[in-house]
A and B are shown apart, each in its own frame.
Chain A
Amino acid sequence: MAISSLAQAQDLLDILEKEGSDTPKYTTATFKFSRISFGHSVETRKNGTLDVFVATRFWNTPADRSQSFFAERLSSRIALEYGISDRLLIGFGGTTFDGRFDGFLKYKLLRQREDEQGAGFSMSLLQNASYFSEGLASNGFDATASNRTSFTTQLLIAKKFSRRLSLQLAPTFVHRGLVYQESDAQSHFALGVGGRFRLGSHVFLVSEYYYVANPIESVDTFGPFSIGVNWELSDVMLQFMVTNAVSMVEDAFITDTRNNFNFKAPNLNFGFHFTYTFHLKKAVKIPDQ
């Protein structure tokens, strides 16, 4: 009797298995945030979410004696980023230290699928524009507004290999507005690599590096590198990192990072990003009980 009833229940489950809908299963949360550490991840945000994004860098100058509290230098980028749709993210920000104002659009072109069909990876397109507003010491520059504006285009290609590991490749094209010397290239090609590794249910180890194929010649520049931890707490995303990238805007940190990564001042930057997410729209309206 017990066996037949068990078999019966199995029949019912078989029916439900068969009925299982054919809706495609998309991989979710390749990354948990629109950034890996300092650079963009393949992720966009959900429709109607507004991220208030505050990114800071702290670093020291090489001076022997220092009277500054905590750190010698501080730069912050404050930005608002809004999910126009589940696939389209728009953002505007301003940075205090280097006076850059930037805006970007990111569109998710492809979503990785879990069910062995369709794309095996996710892909997004990022277009960023940034305006350099600081005064220029030398008058050798033709500093019209159009010359102060730089553009970055990135194709972000990422794959979630397992629940622990996601990796991303980011072929990047940067068109710089200001060039220091005529011999310097105005357009640069770069390749970013980044990834996340899950440490706990809410904590991820993240790292990024950008290789620039044709770097600026007139000054020494280095590929920006970062390693850090992302800690997600409900509506808050906290990012902690150490990096050599001072700027928080793509064109500047990819092509114009002046120090290599090591633990000496002023090369070492401590980065802290705080993001609070407001939900301006309800994804669905669920009636109270």
Chain B
Amino acid sequence: MNKLLLILFLPIMLVRAQSDKVIARQGQVSFFSYTSVEHIKAQNNQVLSVVDLSSNEIAVRMLMNAFVFEKALMRDHFNESYIESDIYPEGIFEGKILDFDSAVSDSQTRLIKGVFSMHGVQQELEIKTKIEQQNDTFILSGTFQVLVQDYNINIPPLLAGNIAKTITVDFRFEYEPYEN
């Protein structure tokens, strides 16, 4: 019986051993801009991310035009006038989870250090991230802040009061084993 089980599970274990990458296909990234004039919220539920558990490298790719806003017209303005998604269609983060041990099953908080490219600008980011593990699933979540001015985004003076100088970004990725 034990042998039978081993034979049954061996291929699965081999696959697990081969592919130490995990992927999140429906990662969530939201951002918030709060000013006294206006609150702006946007969310993207189709963010892709992959983590290589052997090297702790992480990559994130999001399409800027997949952000939806509470006010529908803002999506047009965001893409057309601010983030210029026709020229810069995606935001990409490449980095490394520092001191991360995927064998630890408890919840852990780690720093992710890397470079975020958006709107043609590359910025180094350090993001405090909570990592939880349930069975095969890793969940990465956290919050960080970015400065609008760091990304060369042009805001007309008349609307400067409507858009916060600091944007809060929330993210949550649920990873599952990646199979080629």
Binding site for B on A (CB under 8 A): 5, 8-9, 11-13, 15-17, 19-21, 23, 25, 28-29, 32, 45-49, 83, 86, 163, 201-202, 232-235, 277, 279, 281-286, 289
* CB-based nearest A residue for B37: A234
Pick 17 A–B contacts, CB within 8 A, sort by A.
A12-B52, A12-B58, A13-B94, A15-B50, A19-B48, A28-B65, A28-B79, A28-B80, A86-B72, A163-B84, A232-B81, A233-B158, A277-B73, A283-B68, A283-B71, A283-B72, A284-B68
Q: B32 contacts which of A201, A202, A285, A289 (Cβ < 8 Å)? A: A289
Stretch at the interface among B3-11, B38-46, B102-110, B122-130: B38-46
Chain A residues contacting B82 (CB-CB under 8 Å) are: 201
Q: How far is the CA of A29 from the CA of B50 in the complex (A)?
A: 32
Nearest-CB distance from B66 to chain A (Å)?
Answer: 8
Query: Contacts A5-B57, A286-B30 known; A234 to B77 CB distance under 8 Å?
Result: yes
Q: How far is the CA of A20 from the CA of B90 in the complex (A)?
A: 11
- B35 touches A (CB below 8 Å): no
Q: How far is the CA of A202 from the CA of B87 in the complex (A)?
A: 16
Query: Contacts A201-B82, A234-B77, A285-B70 known; A9 to B94 CB distance under 8 Å?
Result: yes
Determine if B23 and A19 form an interchain contact, defined as CB atoms under 8 angstroms apart.
yes
Report B88-107 CB contacts with A as 1/0, cut-off 8 Å: 00001010100000000000
Q: How far is the CA of A83 from the CA of B159 in the complex (A)?
A: 25
- B168 touches A (CB below 8 Å): yes
Chain B residues contacting A32 (CB-CB under 8 Å) are: 76, 80
Q: How far is the CA of A23 from the CA of B63 in the complex (A)?
A: 11
Q: B73 contacts which of A9, A11, A235 (Cβ < 8 Å)? A: A235
Q: How far is the CA of A47 from the CA of B68 in the complex (A)?
A: 13
* CB-based nearest A residue for B143: A289
Chain B residues contacting A201 (CB-CB under 8 Å) are: 81-82, 84, 154, 156
Nearest-CB distance from A190 to chain B (Å)?
Answer: 29
Within 8 A of A (CB), among B127-170: 143, 154, 156, 158-159, 162, 168, 170
Q: B43 contacts which of A11, A281, A286 (Cβ < 8 Å)? A: A286
Query: Contacts A163-B87, A286-B42, A289-B170 known; A12 to B94 CB distance under 8 Å?
Result: yes
Determine if B71 and A233 form an interchain contact, defined as CB atoms under 8 angstroms apart.
no
Query: Contacts A49-B72, A283-B75 known; A20 to B30 CB distance under 8 Å?
Result: no
Determine if A284 and B81 form an interchain contact, defined as CB atoms under 8 angstroms apart.
no
Q: How far is the CA of A163 from the CA of B81 in the complex (A)?
A: 10
Q: How far is the CA of A235 from the CA of B143 in the complex (A)?
A: 29
Q: How far is the CA of A11 from the CA of B178 in the complex (A)?
A: 13
Nearest-CB distance from B94 to chain A (Å)?
Answer: 5
Nearest-CB distance from A288 to chain B (Å)?
Answer: 8
Q: How far is the CA of A13 from the CA of B91 in the complex (A)?
A: 12
* CB-based nearest A residue for B60: A16
* CB-based nearest B residue for A277: B73
Query: Contacts A28-B80, A234-B162 known; A46 to B73 CB distance under 8 Å?
Result: yes
The 10 nearest A-B residue pairs measured at CB: A46-B72, A12-B59, A283-B72, A16-B61, A286-B41, A29-B80, A279-B71, A201-B81, A282-B70, A16-B48
Determine if B50 and A12 form an interchain contact, defined as CB atoms under 8 angstroms apart.
yes
Nearest-CB distance from B106 to chain A (Å)?
Answer: 25
